[in-house]
Amino acid sequence: MTDVFLTGATGFLGGHLLRELQAAGCTVHALSRRNESDVYLRSLGANPVRAVLSDISSLKKAMQGCQAVFHAAADTSMWRPEAAAQTATNVQGTCNLLRAAESIGVQAFVHTSSVSAYSHLVKETMTEATPQRGGESWINYERSKYLAEQAVRQSKLPWIVLNPSHILGPGDRHNWARLIMLIDQEKLPGIPPGVGSFADVRQIAKAHVSAWQQQKFGNSYLLGGEHVSFVDFVHHVGSVLLKKTPRKATPGWALMAFAQLTYRWSLISRKEPDMTPESAMLTCHHLHVDSSKAMRELQYLETPFNTLTNDTLTWMKQEKILGNPLN
């Protein structure tokens, strides 16, 4: 069996990636920072190993004997007071992983980046040939994902980069699940005016393993999905859950004004708000992603939006995250 080292295994995508790696016959050594994570990871059949991204020596020890590193961990905060910690995790943490992996002779580094490395500043349909503009962005998450990806691309290790778009699917508790819960509680104040590219977390995990198995070193892959406006997203979820939703999108200027107010209050309350200027900007963006390279080379599939959303809602109901039965 092949030994691999995985970061982010307790997260949404990382959990699916763990299962795909196990299905491929790998022994997964999963980074863990606390006792509760150890117990959870063992229950999934992984071998939890203690390490922190800020400590290269702990990383070297944790990945000893591993042939590949899958780096799926990331800080996705959209709140400015957490920017420094986010940069330390996403950028310096990735650099530390690369240094540790290089020093012990790891044979592959598979990096989960994001379409955010390209940035909301890109207005056209994204392809792998589109110049990335994350380094120019005022949104720290975009800037940190760009810088982390650049570190991977400049590494001496054999690397592969995957750039997922809006990740949706069973297992989501914190990403789009937050929007779905607001719809379920009929507390959604408005609908963003943007367009998303909704990608199936299960297919994203499969693409990671496929790229590694085929040794697609030096390649990056955009992993998108069906393009749907947030208005249609909200209306579909509302119709399935039999919930009332706003009829139209909130104008972008109004959404940004509201986000500025909540951000200013958060500086006083010291509590991250549900909406920040950063998250408002990203949900105003009309994202368009071309996944044809991944579909051609990795057998990546774009799950139809209604199927993907309904799978997500069914799982959330089974986990009692949603209040009323699905119909």
Angle at which helix 230-241 crosses helix 176-184, to 10 degrees, equals 50
pLDDT above 50: residue 96: yes
Cβ contact 154:97 at 8 Å: no
Per residue in 126-142, pLDDT (tens digit) is 999 999 999 999 999 99
Domain ranges of the chain: 2-167+199-224
10-14, 176-180, 286-290: segment of lowest average pLDDT: 176-180
Cβ contact 290:315 at 8 Å: no
pLDDT above 70: residue 325: no
168 band by pLDDT with thresholds 50, 70 and 90: very high
As a whole number of angstroms, the distance between CA 14 and CA 112 comes to: 10
pLDDT above 50: residue 326: no
- Pairwise pLDDT comparison (67 vs 188), residue with the higher score: 67
Question: Over the chain, what is the mean pLDDT?
Answer: 96
Global pTM value: 0.95
Cβ contact 290:227 at 8 Å: no
Per residue in 301-317, pLDDT (tens digit) is 999 999 999 999 999 99
Q: What is the CATH number of domain 2-167+199-224?
A: 3.40.50.720
Cβ contact 153:145 at 8 Å: no
Show the DSSP H helices in the chain as ranges. Answer: 12-23, 35-43, 56-62, 83-87, 93-104, 140-153, 176-184, 201-213, 230-241, 252-269, 277-284, 292-297, 305-318
- pLDDT recorded at residue 323: 81
- pLDDT recorded at residue 230: 97
Q: Which residues contact 318 (CB under 8 A, 6 or more apart)?
A: none
Q: Which of 78, 47, 40 is nearest to 65 (CA)?
A: 47
- pLDDT recorded at residue 1: 77
Per residue in 97-111, pLDDT (tens digit) is 999 999 999 999 999
- pLDDT recorded at residue 85: 98
Length of the chain: 327
Per residue in 63-88, pLDDT (tens digit) is 999 999 999 999 999 999 999 999 99
pLDDT above 50: residue 217: yes
- pLDDT recorded at residue 327: 42
* Torsion angle, alpha carbons of 272, 273, 278, 281, to 10: 170
pLDDT above 80: residue 324: no
